[in-house]
Amino acid sequence: MFFLLLISTGRAAITVYQANNQAAFSTAAGAKYTGVAAYNPTSLSPPPLPSPTVLTTIPINLENSGTPNLSIKQKGSFIGFSIEMSVTNQVLGKNSTLIQVPFLNLMANIQQRAGSVMVRVGGNTQESAKLVDDGVIPDGRVLTKNHTGVTGTTQTPPLEFSRDLLYMMRNISSFVNVHWFLGIPWFVTQPFDTKIITASQEILGDYLLGLQAGNEPDMYHIHGHRNDSYSPFDYGGEFSDLLTQVSATNADPSGKAMKLLIGPNIADFSWTPEQVWDSGFVDKFHDNLAFLAVEKYPRDNCAAMFGGPNAVVTDPQTILPYYLTHDAHTKLLAPYLNSTTYAQKVDKPFLMFETNTGSCGGFLGISDSFTAALWGLDYALEMAHSNFSGAMFHLGGQNVFYNATPPTNQSTFHQWTVGALYYSALVMAEVIGPSNNTQVINYGVGGLSSYTPIYNIYENGTPVRVAIFNYIDDPSGANTVHAVISLSGATMPSSVKVKYLAATTVVQKGGYTWAGQTFGKNFESDGRPMGQEDIKTINCDTTAKTCTVDVPAPGFALVFLNDDAFTEDKGAPPMTFPTTAHTKTHNTATVEPSVLATSNGFRKSIHELAGTSKPPSAAPRTAKSSLVALSVVFGAVVVILSRAM
């Protein structure tokens, strides 16, 4: 199956580049899985039921107006995606003329609900990435890695990329309203390599949201990129040096890029945000900063990934309960509450620029299960309540567990695998919606358990939706949540509509449903939801003036208090990019494609993304393009664009 769109004319998060030392914790006998982490079928056991038992009949009393402590106004694009720069050729496409159709569909789903999508291309590999001249990278590719130059704990190879990567990003934005973050290489500052500044502004234009100034600079000294005395003042000095160099070399001819910088992007490892604010960083560079940002993971799995003489590998089974409690989110975000208040004072949006279930690849059975879907959605809503303005879920290579959409070099014959955190992002887009007037509050009531967090969603000061979680895993029904909703100051409706995010257990892998629709299991998705949508209607008690909504254990329910509260198609008209299953017209073989691909070494550096394809031509890229026509030919979506130079 050919899914490329053809266009004519904790620790730092990582992508694993070397051998994977992850240990598998299996709950069943049988042959040991030896494939890549992204598709590991090993499951954990559900955690025990909470003891003592928790409150399951929960009153939710809503005020129609005047509710205090609402969050800042939020956007439906709150959850974005952070793609490690080195795997963009697997996630976005091969080049500007070959774009991954499943990626377009996945982004279109969110655009339909939120109006737009935020995507960051960067990570550790951005820090030494070098923009090279056209033609330097052969075979129509957009990037290449130099494995002889691998350095640091994360074994990150130096990266070379071409302008065609940026053209590919721009062409994606011609189809789906994706806006981009990029990063300025920061390992070498004398002088800075500013080519990406000039090229990104020229090619992406208004689709460029921001440029990251350093990726976790408070960890540079750990990996030998700065000395031990490196401080927020030194970082600020480098920031100033960048501005001076860009001005002197005219690297930002429009003057726009130097108003789109993002800092300090720290991991809260060696520095606290307050130490950066106290250094005068924001005061000095206020006009250059488009966003303030941090990066944070709840814990790391680096011992399993990289080993070492004193490495103590964490058994995911022992930490599974940590991901199934709301208190873990409030503790994780508590150190940033001063900063979100400070950001409002200085009139800057505050981002969680990179996060996920665990750095160094996440955890088997947690990051790739329904646990992560609930965890990610609760985490995002708690950040929205805490006055963050967005969060980016990181996506790495196939040797990690935490991908929202694991990248693959098998897209010419396998469909994609949609991970748990993509469901979080999709549902979050629908919870917030595209109005840009949405506010969130974490609902507190006496006796409420950390296993059953609730958020009330307001637009223009009026309650419109209620988000209800149930982290407990209990098929007996004894721990089903009964949320009793009432509304003061307005007439209670005769019924409400409910959408459920569902799975049979918190340790289920794949096959989750959102309002009855799914993206399937491994290698089953082209990015479009499958199945019939199922929206429940719950009749209310007009005498008691309450509506009771049941939420199974486990599960999540989004309650729409009126028909106007639906957000599924308010962001943009529904849009899909179809694919077909016709056999390709060349190199047709009766051998099972994955076997054939393995037999010839999967040499994607020479051939197309599957090893049986003929070598692609280095077709010219499209700078500023508008969609003219769409047709399906031999399993490939052929999109013809007009070229405006």
pLDDT score, position 305: 87
Tens digits of per-residue pLDDT, 99-148? 999 999 999 999 999 999 999 999 999 999 999 999 999 999 999 987 66
Residue 152 confidence (pLDDT): 55
Higher pLDDT, 620 or 256: 256
Q: What pLDDT is stored for residue 157 in this prediction?
A: 64
Q: And the tokens for 219?
A: 């960890």
Sorted by sequence, the CB contacts under 8 Å of residue 161 that are 6+ apart come out as 85, 129, 130, 131, 132, 137, 142, 143, 144
- DSSP secondary-structure letter at 57? E
Residue 534: pLDDT over 90 = yes
pLDDT attached to residue 307: 84
Q: Compute the distance between CA of residue 436 and CA of residue 628 in angstroms, rounded to an integer.
A: 31
Mean pLDDT within 415-425: 97
For residues 282 and 232, what is the distance between their CA atoms, to the nearest angstrom? 12
CATH 3.90.330.10, domain 72-93+108-312+326-396+428-432, yes or no:
no
Q: pLDDT by residue (tens digit) across 344-399?
A: 999 999 999 999 999 999 999 999 999 999 999 999 999 999 999 999 999 998 99
Burial 271-281 (b: 16+ CB within 10 A, else e): bbbebbbebeb
pLDDT digits (tens, 9 = 90+) for 261-318: 999 999 999 999 999 999 999 999 999 999 999 999 999 999 998 887 888 999 999 9
In whole numbers, what is the pLDDT of the chain averaged over residues? 87
Taking the C-alpha atoms of residue 131 and residue 265, their distance in angstroms, rounded to an integer, is 22
Position 640 scores a pLDDT of 40
Give me the helices (H) in 208-336, please.
232-249, 273-278, 281-285, 302-306, 316-319, 327-333
Sort 26 into a burial class: Cβ within 10 Å, 0-12 / 13-18 / 19+: middle
* Cα distance between the two ends of the chain: 33
Q: Tell me, what's the pLDDT at 589?
A: 29
Predicted confidence (pLDDT) at residue 518 exceeds the cutoff of 80: yes
Instruction: Name which of 32-36, 380-384, 621-625 the model is least confident about.
Output: 621-625
Q: pLDDT category, 588, cuts 50, 70, 90? A: very low
Inform me whether the pLDDT recorded for 6 exceeds 70: no
pLDDT at 473 over 60: yes
Domain boundaries, the chain: 72-93+108-312+326-396+428-432
Question: 624 falls in which pLDDT band (50, 70, 90)?
Answer: very low
Asked if residues 492 and 64 have their Cβ atoms less than 8 Å apart, the reply is no
HSE (side-chain half, CA atoms, 13 Å) at 179:
17
Q: What per-residue confidence (pLDDT) applies to 579?
A: 65
- 169-202: string of b/e by CB count within 10 Å (b at 16+)? bbbbbbbbbbbbbbbbbbbebeebbbbbbbbbbb
Dihedral over alpha carbons 197, 114, 392, 340 (to 10 degrees): 90
Check residues 310 and 438 and name the one with the higher pLDDT: 438
Cα distance between residue 626 and residue 171, in whole Å: 9
- Average pLDDT over every residue of 390-410: 89
pLDDT band per the 50, 70, 90 thresholds, residue 530: very high
Name the percent of the chain lying above pLDDT 90. 77
How much is the pLDDT for 145? Answer: 86
**pLDDT tens, residue by residue, 184-228:** 999 999 999 999 999 999 999 999 999 999 999 999 999 999 999
More confident of the two residues 18 and 207: 207
- Across the range 511-537, mean pLDDT stands at 97
What's the confidence (pLDDT) of residue 149? 56
Given a cut of 70, is residue 10 above it in pLDDT?
no
- Res. 644: pLDDT tops 80: no
Whether pLDDT at 537 is above 60: yes
Percent of the chain's residues with pLDDT above 70: 82
More confident residue, 635 or 472: 472
Can you tell me whether residue 616 is helix, strand or coil? coil
Residue with tokens 């040991």: 32
How high is the pLDDT of residue 3? 54
